[in-house]
A and B are shown apart, each in its own frame.
Chain A
Amino acid sequence: DQQVKQNSPSLSVQEGRISILNCDYTNSMFDYFLWYKKYPAEGPTFLISISSIKDKNEDGRFTVFLNKSAKHLSLHIVPSQPGDSAVYFCAASGNEKLTFGTGTRLTIIP
């Protein structure tokens, strides 16, 4: 039973527009959420996180939104740039471990 789900395996966005990546979770005990970015042949790189006591965290072009009642989080990237093309994983923290979604491949179209 997958506790963290990314239902869109892929997403294509025009350069300069907003990219919105979505993630749903089922375990209400998760208290911290993270987004990672992964390029081919590299390990995932930490991007941004949010505590369960907040509903928004912003860092430059990246904003993460958390809707606890819906058990949903999203990552907004604006404006999208070609270098943002990668696989994005959301992760949820509980019991000192991270549970990862299956990833969304984002392609930015120049």
Chain B
Amino acid sequence: GAGVSQSPSNKVTEKGKDVELRCDPISGHTALYWYRQSLGQGLEFLIYFQGNSAPDKSGLPSDRFSAERTGGSVSTLTIQRTQQEDSAVYLCASTAFPGEAQYFGPGTRLTVL
């Protein structure tokens, strides 16, 4: 089957606008994670969905960030009132076994002007 897919691959927006990033996990994977990688940095955990449990939002940097996962599959990460420091690559990963290997999508490169 297909791997994790993300859209758009690139997004350029103006400061103050809202953006939505989409992730399609591998079919059957119950766990879905969002990360971001800023220039020269490692992968920063943002949020984790597992089945029907309440998501772990402990990594979200501010209340401008939110995410949802509909029907236990597709997830959308929303950033409201974007700031220049939100510029980064946003990566989504999924796994059938939380805590073990995660499989990543190609990422969305967000640039906030």
Q: Across the two chains, which residue of chain B brings its CB closest to A41?
A: B106
Q: Is the CB of A45 within 8 A of B45?
A: no
Number of contact residues on A: which range applies? 20 to 34
- A34 interfacial contact with B, CB 8 Å: yes
Least CB distance, A14 to chain B, in whole angstroms: 26
Which residues of B (17-49) have their CB < 8 Å from a CB of A? 31, 33, 35, 41-43, 45, 48
Complex alpha-carbon distance, A100 and B33, angstroms: 13
Alpha-carbon distance between A97 and B43 when the two chains are bound, in angstroms: 12
Q: Is the CB of B48 within 8 A of A97?
A: yes
Residue A79 CB within 8 A of the other chain: no
Q: Which A residues form the contact surface with B (CB < 8 A)?
A: 6, 31-32, 34, 36, 41-46, 49, 89, 91, 93-103
B4 near A: Cβ within 8 Å?
yes
**Pair B91/A44 contact, Cβ less than 8 Å:** yes
Task: Give bound CA distance, A97 to B62, whole Å.
Answer: 20
- Cα–Cα, bound, A64→B91 (Å): 25
Q: How far is the CA of A103 from the CA of B91 in the complex (A)?
A: 15
Contact of B33 among A32, A45, A97, A101 (CB under 8 A): A97
Query: For this complex, into which size category does the number of interface residues on chain B fall?
Result: 20 to 34
Residue pair A98, B106 in contact (C-beta under 8 Å): no
Instruction: Give residues in B with beta carbon < 8 Å to A.
Output: 4, 31, 33, 35, 41-43, 45, 48, 50, 56, 91, 93, 98-107
Q: Which residues of B contact A93 (CB under 8 A)?
A: 99-100
The answer, among B100, B105, B107, for a CB contact under 8 Å with A32, is B100
A96–B31 contact, CB under 8 A?
Answer: yes
A42 touches B106 (CB 8 A): yes
Q: Is the CB of B4 within 8 A of A43?
A: yes
Once the chains are docked, how many angstroms separate the CA of A102 from the CA of B37? 9
A96-B50, A96-B98, A97-B56 given; A46·B103 CB < 8 A: yes
Q: Which residues of A contact B56 (CB under 8 A)?
A: 97
Looking at the assembled complex, report how far the CB atom of A49 sits from the nearest CB atom of chain B, in whole angstroms: 6
By a CB distance below 8 angstroms, the chain A residues around B42 are 6, 89, 100-103
Return chain B residues, CB-CB under 8 Å to A36.
104
